[in-house]
Chain A
Amino acid sequence: MPASPALSLSVALIALVALDAYVLLAGADFGGGVWDLFATGPRRDAQRALVSEAIGPIWEANHVWLILVVVLLFTCFPPAFSGLAIALHIPLTLMLIGIVLRGSAFAFRNYGTAADAPQRRWGRVFAIASVLTPFVLGMCIGAIASGRVGLALQRVGQGAGGRGAVNARESFWALFVAPWLTPFTILVGLMTIALFAFLAAVYLTVEARDSELREDFRMRALAAALAVFVTAFGALLLSPSLAPRMSEGLIASRWALPLHLLTGVAAIGAIGALWTRRWHLARISAAAQVSFILFGWAAAQAPYIVPPNLTLQNTAAPRRTLVLFLVVLLAGAIVLLPSLAYLFRVFKSSEALRAGPGDGLGPH
């Protein structure tokens, strides 16, 4: 039995929440890597140590949100997953290489040999991979939003259903590279780095224990906020020509105006809170701002997963699968949510942060 629109929409909303969790949590872990790369000034080592201490206990759990999104996509919307995997093969592979190098290098640095030179080398790999991964992730999202991925898929013969072979007359470049490599997608990629760096810097103002370090990250958060604004504005300028569907959706969707307003309020709130040094308020506002940007994208391209032809409805798995998935999700959440709450209480509550670095297995 086919799934009802309400059912596929609810599953899609859960996917969006999981993606939001990935962006807010793992995104900030990648952002931490960005600040490792750009660590400067007299407190350079202290900045790096704080980043490492902040992400150490939680980055692997945060990373699993991505796996949840992937599993959700291929279980509940299999043709959409297959289509994206075909058209975005190259950037997704690059993103995976970034994910592998980031995670491995972090583990090698923190649990491996305590000697100085390898530590620095792994730190460098960790930092560079932390910048490249969100860049490629952003490019993929930009490419989907622009509608070019969907158009390329149609030409590969995977648009509506059934398998197809690559049309020999179409060049490799036109089908598998050009759709995701445009000035628009590059700007979205840069914006993603800026957003993740912004989140990380704001969170780190809460986690820093001395005021000088806190000021370092306050300045970094403000700089990242500026970078977000510049890249977002640039992407918006390019979107009418390079991502027309996106730009229409951002203006025409029923949800567009309220979401834009909420994003604006949250952004002003975050910057105002940073300015007046209200760290906890800044953290909530920054997370809200980034979430509203993500929701804005989702609303702009709803009901499409891959515009212009793969929708929630025409790619949804049968009703039975979706219902069972919701049941599994509920059961999983009963185990997962208390566990996550426990993890963050142990390492991120105010008392835990005041207590300072615990007994991580790090070499410091």
Chain B
Amino acid sequence: MGDLLAARSQMAVSLGFHILFAVVGIAMPVLMVIAEARWRRTGDSMYLELAKRWAKGTAILFAVGAVSGTVLSFELGLLWPGFMRFAGAIIGMPFSLEGFAFFTEAIFLGVYLYGWSRISGRAHLVAGVFVAVSGAASALFVVIANAWMNSPAGFHMANGVPVNIDPIAAMLTPAAFPQVLHMLLASYAATGFAVAGIHAIMLLREPQNVFHQRALAIALIVGVPAAILQPISGDVSGRYVARWQPTKLAAMEGQFRTEAGAPLRIGGIPDVDAQRTRYAIEIPYGLSLMAFHDPHAVVRGLEAFPRDQWPPVPIVHVAFQVMTGLGTLLALVAVWVAITAWRRRDVASHRSLLRAIAVASPVGFICIEAGWVVTEVGRQPWVIYGVMRTADAVTPMPGLIVPFLVISALYCFLGVIVVWLLYDLVMRSPTMRGGEGPPPTSITSAG
């Protein structure tokens, strides 16, 4: 493995690991706050118990997210010093704002986790709201920084160096809105359904368990609207990519030829040497229609660009199929839940729907990983699209395979532990039913 590939792999592992925890840190506070608000309104201690349990899981996941995010902020320089030397002054602004948002999140999470009996009920709830809002704000800012790499703005080039740097214009880059919208919705959809799936599995075992019924309801309130809205935001993103990153779009769709009325390919395996995508189901005019909202629009294929500017086409295409395919599935389950609830039927006792929710549990997270593969691998060979090649950004230190293996091993280890701890936390959930006495004292007075 060469140094460049090792560096890219380490970045991929670090980002792929961190994003799971970051997403939970964005959405989980919303679930906690809803549970706590319901407890304060209804006095039903089951909601308090739920808020505390979710807080406990969030505490573990947030801690791992915070430290793995720190790793990323250093890795920007450790692996890509050429990039940071070029881009630091241009996109430091969203990173700084993200720093403040994350600071606020960490402060109020501390207050939330440890302050149950130290501050007033209202203050505690407000602290939870601050955690949720600042979590979303840090996602907003950090995704803006990534968006800039896809559509660099806010500077001019003179002799290979950026001049006339305008950090505000850099933040208003065209990729910012579609990417931020897509990522925020993804966070709520993935987390909402992951949590709903866990409680759906528990309900399939113990249909009468009120704890899991309430948990399911709250998780779905967060997950369902986001999963239904996500395809619309996907359309916004797709049209952005079509306009600003034609090579990425061509790789996503396995579109080698430039053609008017391009078909939408579902599935298929791109054959880069033969320059065609085999075994795909082709929907006539579909791609032109989706990418430009015009069935006869011309879609530029990869052939329109020099071969050394193509991203790795098969990876991008397959990842895109995974994201859109599974994302559609998640949206369909969400629609099913919405229709069931709208007809005033009880979701928690609808066994086939519970099974579907259980199956959908990991789907959102798989979509998020696939989506980041699309956006990051699809940007290659550029680290800054059209401006700087990834190969020119990598650190001159040789032997990068060693840190790659070390970080990967560390994250594998942590991943296993986290899964085991969360499993343990879920399995210790209360088994009693509604109206059968007070919740276990070990929960309300956990100290």
Contact = CB atoms under 8 A, between A and B. Distances in A.
A355 B118 contact: yes
B217 interface: no
A198 interface: no
B396 interface: yes
A78 B64 contact: no
Given A57-B113, A57-B114, A318-B165, A106 B70 contact: no
Interface string B101-121: 011101111110111111100
Contacts of A176: 397
A58 B398 CA distance: 38
Interface in A66-106: 66-68, 70-72, 74-79, 81-86, 89, 92-93, 96-97, 99-104, 106
Contacts of A100: 67-68, 70-71, 410, 414
Nearest to A59: B110
Interface in B102-151: 102-104, 106-111, 113-119, 130
Greatest chain A CB density within 10 A among B52, B63, B109, B392 is at B63
Contact of A76 (B55, B84, B92, B117): B92
A62 to B, nearest CB: 9
B118 A317 contact: no
Interface string B197-229: 000000000000000000000000000000000
Contacts, number: 252
Interface in B72-92: 73-74, 76-78, 81-82, 84-90, 92
B282 interface: no
Contacts of B86: 78
Contacts of B109: 60
B60 A163 contact: no
B281 interface: no
A74 B111 contact: no
A340 interface: yes
Mostly, the A contact residues are helix
B93 A96 contact: no
A117 interface: no
Given A82-B81, A343-B110, A359-B447, A74 B95 contact: yes
A84 B78 CA distance: 9
A352 B118 contact: yes
A102 B115 CA distance: 23
A164 B113 contact: no
Interface string A349-364: 0001001011111111
Interface of B: 52, 55-57, 59-60, 62-64, 66-71, 73-74, 76-78, 81-82, 84-90, 92-93, 95-100, 102-104, 106-111, 113-119, 130, 165-168, 392, 395-399, 403, 406-407, 410, 414, 417, 421, 424-425, 445-447
Interface of A: 56-58, 60-61, 63-64, 66-68, 70-72, 74-79, 81-86, 89, 92-93, 96-97, 99-104, 106-108, 110-113, 156-158, 163-166, 172, 176, 317-318, 320-321, 324-325, 328-329, 331-332, 335-336, 339-340, 342-343, 346-347, 352, 355, 357-364
15 contacts: A56-B110, A67-B99, A71-B73, A74-B77, A75-B95, A78-B92, A82-B88, A317-B92, A318-B89, A321-B89, A332-B99, A339-B130, A342-B111, A359-B114, A359-B445
